[in-house]
Every structure is written in structure tokens, then in C-alpha cells.
């Protein structure tokens, strides 16, 4: 029989995934779920693609901040900007998230939605990961792409639910994951309506629209965007806790999985902390308490990257 997850080694994680998909699709089974309710959600950073040494979006924003700092000595002199441009994230966050967010939200304020998409694509076309020396587009996890394909073949609808900027991820979600822009849920900025040369354009403002899409906002935004409770969810950090809990405590059969980054050799080894809440419970403790399936990158995956 064809191996439906060829990059996954035989083991508990692969077994749990295949058993879940087989149950959901077996009409007459107690685990059967009607196709309309087959909703799957995936975190992005650290779940679908590599987020170390830092988020791809951080490199994108820092490049633009650097260009702005060259033009604007006042901006360059601000401690948070100096720390960021020296790559010292700890120092940049010393004053809390707000001064950091203020600087980063201003990097692309004034861009239209279409200009921002073009700038993102242009960056993805040439930026290279500092350790692996390849395009960030090559750093999607092959086992997770196989998992998305498996779920789609079982008529799941598959969504990305990311703490990252929704427009940044949308620029490449179709090419990387086969997921169209409207099936990406993420952190958004406010948009202003303007007319330029007789055309209506939507212009990025230097302000978030609502909260960053981490923690409790993930299930809330899932309901706001999708309107149904997912029966499959995948994450890797404490910022995914509420999304996984929302999935795993619903009335239908469900599967929640956590990617454990325990592979310093092929990728990175680090605990799944929350970016916005340093005191959040480690995700592996939540997984143990709530019965989620833990995927060891080192033991469960035969290959890591797709590129």
C-alpha cells in the first residue's frame, strides 16, 4: 500500500495521525465526521516553516528598518532601533513589546496592500537563511506538507492560523502550502481607505487591528474567520495552547499535535515558548495534561525540509 506520509517514520505520532484520518472518513465509524466539519488549522512559524534563529518576517522587517535608519538619524539613534539592527532582540525588548511594535509597525506604514504584497514577494525572491544558505521558501517542513496533502485528500479544508503578519504569510502561502490568501488567518494592521490617481487603495497604518494572533485570540479569530471549530490543529509553542485546546475539547472527534523542536543537528532544539507571554505554560506540559500528540522532529521525521 502507498505510504501516505512517506517522510514520517513509523511510530506513535504517525500512527495517531493515520488512525484519526481513517476514523473521520469511515462512514459508519463512531469517529466519522461529516465533510463540512472537517476543518484543519496549522500554526505557521515553527509548525510549517523554520522560525530560527528568528522569524523570517523579522529579517524582512529589519532590512526595511535598516534602510529607514540610514535615511533618518533620529530613528537610528533610538535604543530599540540600535538594538534591533545589532541583532540583539533581548535588548530590543528590554522596554517591553510596545516600543518594539511601534518601530516595526512603522516600517511599512503608507504602503498599499498591493505594494506590500509586491515588497514581500520581492524579498522572498532573494533573501537567504543565515545558517542553511537557501531561500526561506525552501524551509517549509516536508512532513507537514505531506500532512496537509493527506488531510486535503480526506476533504479537510486547511487553514493557516499564524501569529505572524497575515499579509506577509499570504504572499507565499499558495506557492508553499497550496493555501490561498483567504485561508490564512493572522495578525493584521489597520487599513485606511484612500483614493490615489482615481483608484481606491487600502493603505497600511502604523497600528495593529485588534490583538496579535497568539494565545486566546487564535480561537477567537478562528471563529471570526472560519466560523467552525477545527477538528485538527497543529502548533509548536505556548502561543498555540488555546487553539489546540479549542480543537481538542469540542464535541467531535479531534486530533491536536505539537511539533517538538528537539533536533539541533538538522534544525534547532528549543522549548516552545510564547513570543508575547513569557510566563505561559510550556506547550509540552499542556500537551501532557490535555492528551495531545507530540511529534519529535528528531525521531518522527525522516526528512525535515522540503527544499
Using rule CB under 8 A, residue 9 touches its own copies: no
Of 63, 88, 114, 285, which lies in the binding site for its own copies, with binding defined by CB under 8 A?
Answer: 114
Is residue 275 near its own copies by the rule CB under 8 A?
A: no
The count of chain residues that interact with its own copies, using the rule CB under 8 A, is: 39
The CB-side HSE value for 36 (13 A sphere, CA atoms) comes to 2
Q: Is 228 a residue that touches its own copies (CB under 8 A)?
A: yes
Site map 231..270 versus its own copies, x via CB under 8 A? -----------x--xx--xxx-------------------
The interface with its own copies within residues 154-173 (CB under 8 A) comprises 157, 159, 166-167, 170
Q: Please identify, using beta-carbon distances, which residue of 191 and 294 lies nearer to its own copies.
A: 191
242 grid coordinates: 488555546
Q: Quick check: 291 binds its own copies (CB under 8 A)?
A: no
Examine residue 178 and tell whether it contacts its own copies (CB under 8 A): no
User: Is residue 220 within the footprint of its own copies (CB under 8 A)?
Assistant: yes
43 binds its own copies (CB under 8 A): no
- Segment near its own copies (CB under 8 A), from 25-33, 41-49, 145-153, 222-230? 222-230
Report phi then psi at 280, rounded to 5: -65, 150
Q: Does 145 bind its own copies (CB under 8 A)?
A: no
Given the rule CB under 8 A, which residues bind its own copies? 36, 113-114, 157, 159, 166-167, 170, 174, 180-184, 188, 191, 193, 198-200, 202, 209-210, 216, 219-220, 223-229, 242, 245-246, 249-251
Amino acid at each position: 500500500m502507498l505510504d501516505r506520509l512517506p517522510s514520517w517514520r513509523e511510530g506513535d505520532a504517525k500512527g495517531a495521525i493515520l488512525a484519526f484520518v481513517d476514523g473521520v472518513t469511515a462512514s459508519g465509524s463512531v469517529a466519522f465526521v461529516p465533510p463540512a466539519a472537517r476543518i484543519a488549522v496549522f500554526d505557521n512559524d515553527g509548525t510549517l516553516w523554520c522560525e530560527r534563529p528568528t522569524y523570517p518576517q523579522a529579517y524582512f522587517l529589519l532590512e526595511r528598518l535598516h534602510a529607514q535608519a540610514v535615511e533618518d538619524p533620529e530613528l537610528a539613534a533610538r535604543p530599540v532601533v540600535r538594538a534591533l539592527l545589532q541583532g540583539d532582540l533581548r535588548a530590543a525588548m528590554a522596554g517591553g513589546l510596545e516600543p518594539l511594535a511601534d518601530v516595526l509597525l512603522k516600517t511599512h506604514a503608507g504602503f498599499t496592500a498591493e505594494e506590500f504584497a509586491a515588497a514581500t514577494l520581492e524579498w522572498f525572491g532573494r533573501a537567504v537563511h543565515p545558517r542553511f544558505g537557501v531561500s526561506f521558501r525552501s524551509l517549509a517542513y516536508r512532513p507537514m506538507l505531506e500532512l496537509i496533502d493527506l488531510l486535503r485528500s480526506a476533504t479537510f479544508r486547511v487553514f493557516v492560523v499564524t501569529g505572524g503578519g497575515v499579509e506577509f504569510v499570504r504572499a507565499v502561502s499558495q506557492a508553499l502550502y497550496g493555501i490561498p490568501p483567504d485561508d490564512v488567518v493572522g495578525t493584521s494592521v489597520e487599513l485606511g481607505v484612500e483614493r490615489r490617481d482615481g483608484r481606491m487603495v487600502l493603505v497600511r497604518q502604523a497600528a495593529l487591528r485588534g490583538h496579535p494572533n497568539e494565545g486566546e485570540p487564535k480561537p477567537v479569530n478562528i471563529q471570526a474567520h472560519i466560523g467552525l471549530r477545527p477538528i485538527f490543529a497543529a502548533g509548536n509553542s505556548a502561543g498555540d495552547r488555546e487553539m489546540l485546546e479549542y480543537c481538542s475539547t469540542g464535541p467531535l472527534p479531534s486530533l491536536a499535535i505539537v511539533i517538538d523542536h528537539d533536533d539541533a543537528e538538522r534544525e534547532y532544539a528549543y522549548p516552545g515558548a510564547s513570543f508575547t507571554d513569557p510566563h505561559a505554560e510550556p506547550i509540552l506540559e499542556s500537551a501532557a495534561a490535555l492528551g495531545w500528540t507530540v511529534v519529535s522532529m528528531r525521531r518522527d521525521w525522516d526528512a525535515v525540509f522540503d527544499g
